[in-house]
Structure formats: structure tokens, C-alpha cells
A and B are shown apart, each in its own frame.
Chain A
């Protein structure tokens, strides 16, 4: 009985392993993780110059059918959530093959959590998400993420 229980428990543990995290490498199609699936925050985007990690969570996944919404958290060393970062945060959309962007992304911050809204992918194709950290208006670090819709 105990063996059956242990086997069942181990099987459930294997099945419950986290799915691959949202990958920020170019040319890889990202998987959009809903809040209910993500139980911890991991480093999705790395700002190497300032030694900061960014965790992304799509509340509304990117598509050409509706406004996308993104929740962002910053992680310091050892994966600790940063309540406050010393930089201004900016995000913009760009279509490199067509040479145009989209509407300005609106970003609000509350208790260290950044909410990005007004994200409109106005047509299908390759999009670049540009995440920038600024200090007094100057870009300190930038990471580009590709999304192909």
C-alpha cells in the first residue's frame, strides 16, 4: 500500500514539474505563462550591465486580436524580488521588417510590480519588444526580445 502511495506521489511530482519558462532568446517562440501556472518568479530577461533580472508574466498573451497586458517584476541577486529599482523602466514595440512600431506602451508601478498596458500588435509578423532601463533620460541598459505572431 505504501509502495503504491509512494509511486503515485512520485508520479504526481513528475507531472507537476514546471513547464519550460518563458524564454527570451531570439528565434525561439515564447510560451505565454498565465498567472495560475507560475508559482515562482524566474529570470526571464537579464540586464547584464546593471545586474538585474526581469520576470515577465503575460496577463493577456500577445496576439493581433486584442490588447496584450504584461506584468513585470525585477529580481536582484539570489533571485530576491526588488521592491524598488534605481532606474526608470520603458518598453516599446517595433516591427523590424516593416520599419514601424505601435502605440506607446503605458507603464504603471505599484509596490515594485510594473504593469504594461496599451500593448497593441497591430499586424502579424516579427515584433521586437525593447525593454530599457533609464537614468535621467539616458538608456543604461537594454534588452530586445523577439515575438513572431
Chain B
């Protein structure tokens, strides 16, 4: 049973990943959480994906063959147990690369992404068996904007836009329940984003809200898990002031469908492959649609 919990939690928190969203699409990250008798863990994730379509007011439109927008990320997550119920984690996108091609013009840029720091508390532990009672976590996450964003990107095609550009503080909760060979999960997150002034624009960003639901199947004889999850992300409209000219953006909505396969090796190593697609579910609004494939490797240290 403990083996399954390890697979479940690692698949949950690894499949919901913050992939590069220079403008209008992208997913959301639930923080890395340690389960089991481990004092710390390090997760390395390599991701690659591309923008395949756009959601405009009058419908959905595929990108033409003359347009290409791709991204790659190498990121690191470190989680440390503070005591029996509380944990700390740090997420660091080491290399975030974005390339764009419009006709014969190609542009590429790479660099560090935004950093996030999280604190999590298991407020609903599984101390005894219960048919209905899930395990519950509550967390807070601080987003630190260290990478250029759309508001201060300098490249022609804005490929140097790798971050959100503003500070954000998120509060969220996650519940997991194992029923036989299956596991069920669900969670919500709300992120408040702080206003910020750039050289040519003052931004009051909209808040973000996420909701996640998923399920997984755990093979009895082998340390494998296959999971499927659906995440909804809503971003509120932003208020902008460009040298006295005030305007508002439109709200954004997008759905992430993720398929994950996890494998546990000798309890201290975990491998995962995750495919995320934003084109399978809707309705979506005012956003880009992305597809992404991630490969993950995690190492844990016992207490």
C-alpha cells in the first residue's frame, strides 16, 4: 500500500507542471510533496512541446505550416520534510528555451524561468484505514518573477518571454483516496498576483484559479501506475496602464488533459513520462493550445 502512495503522489505532483507560457496558455504547478518515510527528494524534469492552435473570440484556429512555436524546459524541484506533517519545496526552471518561426524568420532564446517556493501541510493524514476519508494536503506557494515576461521582453518575436512578470501567492488543497487498485484525486488552487510597474507599462494582473481531478490504476504485481487527469485553469482579466493609456485584457480559460505512466525502482528512484494536451477539452478562451511531453527522474533519501 505504501508503494502505491509513493507512485500516486509522485504522479500527481509531477503531471501538473508549469510549462512555458509566454503569453496566453500554459499550465499550473502543484508543489512537490514528499510522502512515505523520506526526508528529502530531488526531481529532474525535461519537457518539450509546441503551440498547435489558438482560441480566439470567433473560434479555434490551427497554426499554419509557416508558423512554429516550440519550447523546452529543464527544471529542478527540491522538497524537504520539516517535521512529520510539514514540508518545504523549491522549484527552479534551470533552462527554459523558446523558439519561434514566422515564414523565413526564426528566433530562439533561453534562460532561467520563474522560481517558486512552497510550504505544504498534511492536515488530513491517514492514520487508520477508512473507506471514505481521503488524505488531504494544504499548501501555499510564492512565485518569484526572475525571468523576462511579455511586459519587458525585448526580442522581435518575444521568445525571451519566459515568466509571468509579477509576484504571485497561491493557496491550494489536494485530496487523494485509494480504492482497491484505483486512486482518485482532486484539488483546487487560487493564486493572487500582485501589480507591478515596468518601464513602459503598469500591470494589475488578474488572479488565477485551478481545479484538478484525476484517477489512476496501480498494477498489483509490478510497480507501475497509469493515470489520467484533467485540470481547468482560469486567468482573470488584467488592467494595464501604458503611459496614461488604460486598457483591459480578456479573461483566459484552458483545460489540460494529462496521461502519465510512473515506475518505481527500489523505492528510492521514480521514473515518469507525462503527456499533456490542451486541445482535447473545452471550452477554451483567449489562449494558445499546447502539447507537451515530459520525462521525469526522482531520487529520494530515507530518514
Residue positions of A touching B, CB distance < 8 A: 64-67, 94, 96-100, 102-103, 118, 120, 122-126, 148
Contacts and interface: CB of A to CB of B under 8 A. Distances in A.
B125 to A, nearest CB: 43
Contacts of A124: 54, 56, 61
A88 to B, nearest CB: 16
Contact of B23 (A65, A98, A118): A98
Interface string B103-132: 111000000000000000000000000000
Interface in B46-74: 54, 56-58, 61, 63-64, 66-67
Interface of B: 23-24, 54, 56-58, 61, 63-64, 66-67, 100, 102-105, 150-151, 155-158, 203, 238, 240, 247-250, 286, 288
Given A97-B249, A97-B250, A123-B54, 7 more contacts: A64-B63, A66-B102, A96-B250, A120-B156, A122-B100, A124-B56, A124-B61
A120 B103 contact: no
Given A99-B150, A99-B238, A99-B247, A65 B156 contact: no
A97 B57 contact: yes
Contacts, number: 67
A126 B67 contact: no
Taking chain A's interface residues, is the majority helix, strand, or loop, or is none over half, making it mixed? loop
Contacts of A125: 54, 56
Contacts of A96: 247-250
B249 A98 contact: yes
A147 B238 CA distance: 21
Contacts of A102: 156, 158
B57 A126 contact: yes
Contact of A67 (B103, B203, B240, B249): B103
Contacts of A100: 23, 150-151, 158
Nearest to A92: B242
A65 B24 contact: no
Contacts of A126: 56-57
B64 A103 contact: no
A66 B105 contact: yes
B266 to A, nearest CB: 46
A120 B102 contact: yes
Contacts of B57: 97, 126
A125 B250 CA distance: 12
B286 A98 contact: yes
Contacts of B150: 98-100
Nearest to B240: A99
Contacts of A64: 63-64, 67, 102
5 interchain residue pairs of minimum CB distance: A66-B103, A65-B66, A99-B249, A103-B156, A100-B150
Residue with the highest number of chain A CB atoms closer than 10 Å, among B24, B61, B288:
B24
A148 to B, nearest CB: 8
A149 to B, nearest CB: 9
8 contacts: A64-B63, A65-B64, A99-B247, A100-B151, A103-B155, A120-B102, A123-B288, A125-B56
Contacts of B66: 65-66
A63 B255 CA distance: 27
A98 B24 contact: yes
B194 to A, nearest CB: 16
Nearest to A96: B247
Contacts of B155: 103
Contacts of B102: 64-67, 120, 122
Contacts of B23: 98, 100, 123
